[in-house]
Amino acid sequence: MASPPHTSKTLKLERYNSYLRRLHSTKVLNASSKLIFRVTLLIALVLILFFTLNYPPLSDKNPNHAHLHHHNFLSAALFTSSAGGDAWEKQVRHSSTPKKPNGLSVLVTGAAGFVGSHCSIALKKRGDGVLGLDNFNSYYDPSLKRARQKLLLKNQVFIVEGDLNDASLLTKLFDVVPFTHILHLAAQAGVRYAMQNPQSYVSSNIAGFVNLLEVAKTANPQPAIVWASSSSVYGLNTQVPFSELDRTDQPASLYAATKKAGEEIAHTYNHIYGLSLTGLRFFTVYGPWGDLIWLISFSRKISCKGLWTRRRKAQEAVAKKNGPAQLRVYNLGNTSPVPVGKLVSILEGLLRTKARKHVIKMPRNGDVPYTHANVTLAYRDFGYQPTTDLATGLRKFVKWYVDYYGIQTRVKKDSDINSEHPEESV
């Protein structure tokens, strides 16, 4: 008996719908397979990139190559990818933990620099916790910075390699460590270099300083900050010796202008956020582990700028926060100016070598004709009183210099030389 017409149509319709469902399922399965494949491939690429950045080839014979310039992308990526690991945090905490009761926990920026390395070791030796931060840029000899880094590691001071303009890094550091103090020494240095690369001064000395203050203002506890200004802020001031009360609105260089801007920025953050800030107007510094490039060889000419006198400065300065929202600035230097000619004469005697002098008229490149510190305020507030004369300080520096660079010279001996400490300025 034949099926009714409507029953036959229903069966055909059900078969057609079943076919459509199977076809749809096949398409969905194919699409899902493609999606899974693409996601797997993406994950694999991410893992390959991660391990490539974190574990560079063993055949790389120059470990410093990736760090000569702080704008190097791979260096930044390497640091960022490793900054959150357990081993990294353990190093950071261990280095910044004080060894004595009521010790400080200090973040030292520019720790691989001359002043920064000396201060870091001094703080560590007295029992404070110290964590360094440095971008190891190439303005000064990177190999000397790496040597200082090794010296700091021997003294259990760990340096985080990173930049002040990396806000996420700064935030991470303050999340890991409750710093009580910041010694901010990182900066783009040099008066004449500002004519070649002005943006680097704005980026480091202004933007970097603001980034640091932005993180510090919300930190708990809120750290007291000691930071490096400069005697360059006195600029074209003709009243000597330079006093903290003198005008500083006539900078002679962009470097000086950025340091003066830093002092005004410090005033703002003190006024609005209650940050305690102490600025140190450093004069010229020198000593063992320093960067005096003009001493490389006396076979080269030394340009003695007309009317130019220098005076050297000491740098003992991290004081505890003695009250709420302090805003202070101090001159740090010696009180007896010394002409460049006398400095050269002392070096000639120490090296037993005659300098080839080329005296020229002072160019308009940002240098100032003289500099002379009044340190009355620093002496009144914390007993600052430099004691090392120029001849003694240079003798210590020259001994370190010729030993470190392996220079063959008949340097005068001094049994009392101790090359472990930086010297006061002239």
Positions annotated as catalytic residues are 255
Angle between helices 142-154 and 114-125 (to 10 degrees): 0
- Report residue 317: phi and psi, to 5°: -165, 90
Q: How many CA atoms lie within 13 A of 270 on its CB side?
A: 20
Longest Cα separation, the chain: 130
Whether the upstream peptide bond of residue 101 has omega within 30° of 0, thus cis, is: no
Q: Tell me the CA distances in angstroms from 326 to 38, 54, 412, one per residue in order.
A: 58, 43, 46
Q: Which two tokens stand for residue 289?
A: 């582990």
Instruction: Tell me which amino acid residue 251 is.
Output: P
**Residue 129: strand, helix, or coil:** strand
Q: DSSP states of 56-107 as a string?
A: --TT---TTGGGSSTT-HHHHHHHHHHTTSHHHHHHHHHHHS-SSTT--EEE
Using an 8 Å Cβ cutoff, are 319 and 182 in contact? no
**What's the CA gap between 266 and 37, in Å, rounded?**
55
Structure tokens at 106: 């200090």
